[in-house]
Amino acid sequence: MTYSILLIGQHGQVSTYLQRALSKQEGISKQEGMDLIVAGRDQIDLSKPDTVKAALRSFDVDLIINPAAYTAVDLAESEAEAAFAINSESVAEIAAFCAENSVSLIHYSTDYVFAGDAQTPYAETDPIGPTGVYGASKLAGEQAIINSQARAVILRTAWVYSNHGKNFYKTMLALSETRDELTVVADQIGAPTYAASIAEATRQIVSQLRQQGGIKPEQSGVYHFTCQGQTSWCDFAKAIFVENQITKMAVSPIATKDYPTPAQRPAYSVLDNSKLEKTFGVSLPHWGTALAQCAAETASSKDKP
Ligand SMILES: NC(=O)c1ccc[n+]([C@@H]2O[C@H](COP(=O)([O-])OP(=O)(O)OC[C@H]3O[C@@H](n4cnc5c(N)ncnc54)[C@H](OP(=O)(O)O)[C@@H]3O)[C@@H](O)[C@H]2O)c1
C-alpha cells in the first residue's frame, strides 16, 4: 500500500531539501511505495488557523511533515500575533487533525525554547525558558502538539543553513563579494545544522515510520535534532570561508553586546541528540562534515551554466 505524505510549506530551507530527499527521483523510490504531496501557502495558510483543518481535509495522507513556520526571529518581537498564529494556533489545528484522523505528525521546533544559560548540551527534559516571542510561539506549538495526544515527533533543530533561502552561510558568502574584513559574534555557541542533513535524517525516520505503520505511542515526543559538535558564529564564519576557498576575508571576534538585535539570542544552545540515536538509530553528521557537503553543493551550483 502507498504511504502518503503531506509536506506543509514549499520554499523554505528545510522544505526544499525535504522535497529532494523524499522525491521519487532522488530520495525515497517508487518501489518503497511513498507518495509526497507538497502544499504551499496557497493551499494551507498557517496565518489563518481557522482555515487549517478544512484545508487538511482535502488530503488523504498517513503522515504530515511540518517545517513551515514564522521564522523571522527579530520581527516576531513586533509581530507576536502573526508568530503565534503560525507557530502555535495553526500547529494546534494540525495536531488536532492528526489526532482525530490517526495521522502521524513530524514537526520541527527550535533551540530558542531554551534560555541559553546552560554550559553542557541541553537534554529534551531540561527546563525550557524562551527569552523572545519566536521561542515562546514555537514552544506553545510544541505544547499544543503534546496536549493533542497526536502521534507526533517534534524535532528541535538549530542554526539552520543551506544554499537556499536566507541564512548565515549565504550572508557570509554574499559579504565576501564586497568586503575583505568582518566582525562576527564569538560568544554564542551552537551547532550549525545543514538543511540537507535535516532532510536526510528525516528521510530515515520516515522510512521507519512507513515500515512500522506510523509513529508508535512510545516514540511520540520531543527530540533534539542538530548536527554534532559545537562552535561559535565567528568560528563558523571562518570555516565557511575556508570550505569555500575564500582566503582574503579577515574575521575578527566581537561580543553579543556589540551586535544588538531586537530579540535576544541564546548564548549556549548545543542540544544533546542521544535520544534520537537511541530511539530511531538516526544521527546527523558533525557540523564540519555537513559544512563541507554544503560547500561542495555551492561549488557545483556555480559550475552549472
Ligand atoms: N532557520 C533556522 O535557523 C532554524 C533554527 C531552529 C529551528 N528552525 C525551525 O526549523 C523549521 C524550518 O525552518 P526553515 O529555516 O526551513 O524556515 P524558512 O526557510 O524560513 O521557511 C519557512 C517556511 O514556512 C512557510 N510559511 C511561512 N508562513 C506561512 C504561512 N502563513 N502559511 C504556510 N506556510 C508558511 C514558508 O512558506 P513559503 O514556502 O510560502 O515561503 C516556508 O516554506 C521551522 O520550524 C523553524 O522554526 C529553524
What are the sequence ranges of the domains in the chain? Answer: 3-166+195-227+270-284
- If you take atom 12 of ligand 1, which residue's CA is the nearest one? 67
Q: Which atom of ligand 1 is nearest to the CA of 195?
A: 16
Ligand 1 centroid to Cα of residue 181, in Å, is 31
Q: Where are the beta strands (DSSP E) in 132-230?
A: 152-157, 160-161, 181-185, 189-190, 193-194, 221-224
User: Is the backbone of residue 292 left (phi > 0), alpha (psi -120 to 50) or beta?
Assistant: alpha
Crossing angle, helix 90-100 and helix 133-148, to 10 degrees?
Answer: 10
CA 208 from centroid of its chain's CA atoms: 20
Q: How far is the CA of 68 from the centre of ligand 1 (A)?
A: 4
Closest CA to 237 of 181, 296, 162, 184: 184
Q: Any residues with CB less than 8 A from the CB of 101 and at least 6 apart, and which?
A: none
In the prediction, which pLDDT does 23 show? 82
Q: Is the CB of 41 under 6 A from ligand 1?
A: yes
| Candidate of 71, 133, 142, 198 to mutate for ligand 1, largest count of ligand atoms within 8 Å of Cβ | 71
**pLDDT for position 282:** 98
Question: Which numeric CATH code is attached to 3-166+195-227+270-284?
Answer: 3.40.50.720
pLDDT at 34: 79
Residue 12 Cα to ligand 1 middle (Å) = 5
pLDDT tens profile 109-150: 999 999 999 999 999 999 999 999 999 999 999 999 999 999
What is the 67 CA–ligand 1 centroid distance (Å)? 6
The CB of 226 under 6 Å from ligand 1? The reply is no
Residue owning the nearest CA to atom 18 of ligand 1: 12
Whether ligand 1 lies within 6 angstroms of the CB of 43 is answered as: no
Across the strands, what pairs with 228? 286
Which grid cell sits at 71? 521564522
For residue 125, count CB atoms less than 10 angstroms from its CB and return exposed for 0-12, middle for 13-18, buried for 19 or more: exposed
Which ranges of the chain have pLDDT less than 50?
31
Give the position, in ligand 1's atom list, of the atom nearest the Cα of 134. 47
How far are the Cα atoms of 52, 59, 206 from residue 98, in angstroms, in the given order?
A: 12, 12, 16
- Beta-carbon count within 10 A of 256 CB: 15
Task: Select from 32, 129, 130 the least CA-distant residue to 77.
Answer: 130
Atom of ligand 1 nearest to the CA of 138: 47
If you take atom 24 of ligand 1, which residue's CA is the nearest one? 68
Q: DSSP letter at 286?
A: B
Active site residue 112: no
pLDDT, position 259:
85
- Predicted pLDDT of residue 32: 63
End-to-end Cα distance, the chain: 41
Q: Whole-model pTM above 0.85?
A: yes
CB 237 within 8 A of CB 173: no
Q: How remote is the C-alpha of 224 from its chain's centroid? A: 11
State the pLDDT at residue 28: 55
Which residues make Cβ contacts (< 8 Å) with residue 59, sequence separation at least 6?
4, 6, 37, 39
- N residues, the chain: 305
H-helix or E-strand containing 237?
Answer: helix 233-243
* Structural element, H or E, at residue 36: strand 34-39
Tell me which of 17, 134, 161, 169 is the catalytic residue.
Answer: 134
Q: Provide the pLDDT for residue 304.
A: 64
pLDDT at 33: 72
